[in-house]
Amino acid sequence: MDSRTIIAQTPGTEMKRALRMRSLASHMDLGIKYLLPIEVNALIEYLPSLDQKMFIRTLWNTGARISEALALTGRDFILTQEDEARVLKRRGASKTEAIKAVTNPLTFRDQTGIPLLAQIVPDSSYQSCIMIRSLKTHKTNKGKPSESTLKALNLSRRLVPLLDHQYISDMKEYRYSKLTGKDRLSLDEPFWSVRSRQTVLNWINEAVLRAEKDGIHFSIPISCHTFRHSYAIHLLNAGVPDRLLMEMLGHKSIKSLSVYTKIFALDRLSGIELSFEQENAAVLLKNLHLGEI
């Protein structure tokens, strides 16, 4: 693979325009540095292990902050209706709890027989998501949490829908192997063994070096936060409304999106021709009033 191969996968004019917008964005006050989707996927190819690939793909598919991604547990990945039922049934789990397959819809009920799920939908149409919480409010004191603590935990949670079917399919297989393998995890243990932001940054830097040796060069420095910026721009370009994106990113104020929307208008409208001029406007307007049009 070389840089010519990567560029060839995206129409030339669109690729050049996207790169130009990205260059302008990085030089603005409070400008952000982000990768195009084709660049993110190229970088992921140079990560050597499945664990590294799935971690970075999770950052890319959710826009999670690095601290939020490191705090994820197996229970936070709500990929099937069975996962949803577990979340609704109870919050905690013992260290010995193992993931169990549920095939009978009648089991999607609580101990009193009340259905946990409003309806059973085909797996192909189920909306998978990830429950993300802030690391600052993730830890609680020993014992029963107070009402204020529970409220803070609930407020810190957000459900981020997963939109890429390939990622969902791969994550189902990956999570199953981790929860049922030789060194299986419980549902409430940290999902990845990595604990440090620096470790993840080392992965990225090493992948960048491997890509450079292969003739692929990224024109911006890449950090753990780059994938969050890239996710936001990708969703904005797809037409996701600002307030919905705000919730998905975990922003408390719509003003927090200004860093993205400052460049979004230039990016989204680039190449669009819209006339603001009208020849013979006065004559046309006069005839309109006289009923001659």
73 has which bridge partners?
190
Residue 138 CB contacts under 8 Å (≥ 6 apart), including other chains: 71, 153, 156
Annotation says 34 is catalytic: no
Rounded-to-integer distance, Cα 36 and Cα 55, Å: 18
> Which residue in the list 95, 142, 144, 252 is annotated as catalytic?
142
Report how far apart, in Å, the C-alpha atoms of 82 and of each of 14, 37, 218, 271, 285 are. 42, 31, 41, 46, 64
Q: Is 251 a catalytic residue?
A: yes
What is the length of the chain?
A: 293
| Single-letter code of the amino acid located at 102 | V
Ramachandran class of 271: left when φ > 0, alpha when ψ lies in -120 to 50, beta otherwise = left
End-to-end CA distance of the chain: 61
The Cα 92–Cα 82 span in angstroms is: 16
**Rounded to whole angstroms, how far apart are CA atoms 213 and 215?**
5
Verify whether residue 142 is a known catalytic residue.
Answer: yes
- C-alpha 28/C-alpha 84 separation (Å) is 43
- To the query of whether residue 184 is one of the catalytic residues in this protein, the response is no
Q: Which of 22, 53, 65, 158 is catalytic?
A: 65
Is 231 tagged catalytic? no
Options 172, 225, 262, 268, the catalytic residue: 225
Catalytic member of 158, 228, 229, 234:
228
Q: Give me the catalytic one of 17, 172, 251, 262.
A: 251
Active site residue 65: yes
> Percentages helix, strand, coil for the chain, rounded to the nearest 5?
55, 5, 40
Q: Which residues carry out catalysis? A: 65, 142, 225, 228, 251, 260
